[in-house]
Copies of this chain bind each other. A is one copy, B any other.
Amino acid sequence: MTDFAETPAPPYWAVIFTAVRTPEDEAGYAQTAEHMETLAARQPGFLGMESTRGEDGLGITVSYWDSLEAIAAWKAHADHRTAKRLGRERWYRAYRLRIARVERDTAWSR
């Protein structure tokens, strides 16, 4: 995903997910990550997502939501729960997840 999230005027919510991958099961991880992106985009209150991973295995994914309720509903989604369990079992060495309220934003482009 190379695009920016086209978020509305603040306030809105950000879920900042920072994770270090294990070297295991790249194919299974990639397939599930793609499915999660597609599925998240269909959830009520989803506003967009920005995601990247460096060669060192550190990845940052920020998803944007219109409310805490929307974030809670996505967290409780059955497929998302399964992906999270597999993530802990196979794909991630460690992660941090932060939920934050976006108060200001700026966009710039050439």
Q: C-beta contact mask, A60-72 vs B, less than 8 Å → 1, else 0?
A: 1010000000000
Number of identical protomers: 2
Q: Does A82 sit within 8 A of B, measured CB to CB?
A: no
| In the complex, residue of chain B having the shortest beta-carbon distance to the beta carbon of A3 | B58
| In the complex, residue of chain B having the shortest beta-carbon distance to the beta carbon of A57 | B2
Q: Within A10-59, which residues are at the interface with B (CB < 8 Å)?
A: 10, 14, 16, 18, 20, 50-59
Chain A count of residues within 8 A CB distance of the other chain? 42
The smallest C-beta distance from A53 to any residue of chain B, in angstroms, reads 6
Taking Cβ atoms with an 8 Å cutoff, the residues of A that contact B are 1-2, 4-5, 7, 10, 14, 16, 18, 20, 50-60, 62, 88, 92-110
